[in-house]
Amino acid sequence: MFHALVAEFMGTALMIIFGVGVHCSTVLKGTKYRGSGHIFAITTWGFGISIALFIFGNVCINPAMVLAQCLLGNLPWVDFIPYSVAEVLGGVVGSVIVWIMYADHFKASTDEISPITIRNLFCTSPAVRNLPRNFFVEFFDTFIFISGILAISTVKTPGVVPIGVGLLVWAIGMGLGGPTGFAMNLARDMGPRIAHAILPIANKADSDWQYGIIVPGIAPFVGAAVAAWFMHGFFGI
């Protein structure tokens, strides 16, 4: 159990280092890749998740996936909270590491980049704020995400799952990520959101907990539950 929790913690932290790191790289003043755009960022998210899965193996790195595995009987329910807590903490630590790496760039960006944009380097935010629609987007994105991972996981060829999941993230990000930033993962959003709240960032915007709890907090669990029931009932997974 301890080994599994450490793997979930480190796997999530590494995912966030790649993901939050690429947002900092493309937005903050003075970085080498500033202005590279959303394709650059989404591709890094996909590749970063693939690398985390290659290194740490059969990890969830997502409380929504933990829920799906518990519903399918692949994990005992007693693991749900410890796994989820380890993943959120990994998200916090990964974000803090990124902040340390980009501290000079955060400082240089204080007077040029809005506090809300700085917050959005860490956590997701809707392009158009409409909580019911935002909730549906995150629900549906997560439904596709978890269903896709469960389907990919039936392929037993070594190396297919990490690559397949990375491609899945890339496709969802490009096709469905525009409205909300496709969190699909409480740990991906809440961990960095907590880090943003506690880090000594100048001119800090509020953390927007209402959105963080309702949309990327709750909707992925609903999407994951529906995905688990659908994949079990329709495909026998």
Q: What is the mean pLDDT of residues 90-109?
A: 97
Place of tokens 């495909």: 235
Place of tokens 């005992």: 76
Q: What is the mean pLDDT of residues 150-154?
A: 96
Yes or no: say if 216 and 188 are a contact pair by the CB < 8 Å rule. yes
Place of tokens 């999530």: 12
Yes or no: say if 172 and 144 are a contact pair by the CB < 8 Å rule. yes
Name the amino acid, one letter, at 87.
E
Yes or no: say if 6 and 90 are a contact pair by the CB < 8 Å rule. no
Confidence class of residue 203 from pLDDT cuts 50, 70 and 90?
confident
pTM of the predicted model as reported, rounded to 2 decimal places = 0.95
**Residue 136: exposure state from Cβ atoms within 10 A (0-12, 13-18, ≥19):** middle
The C-alpha atoms of residue 165 and residue 203 are separated, in whole angstroms, by 37
Per-residue pLDDT at 174 exceeds 90: yes
Nearest to 195 by CA among 3, 23, 2: 23
132-142 per-position pLDDT tens digit: 999 999 999 99
Confidence class of residue 55 from pLDDT cuts 50, 70 and 90?
very high
| Six token digits for residue 181 | 């930033």
Q: What CA–CA distances, in Å, run from 87 to 31, 144, 154, 186?
A: 28, 21, 24, 9
3-40 per-position pLDDT tens digit: 999 999 999 999 999 999 999 999 999 999 999 999 99
User: Which pLDDT score, from 0 to 100, does residue 1 have?
Assistant: 84
Q: What CA–CA distances, in Å, run from 6 to 56, 87, 97?
A: 10, 9, 17
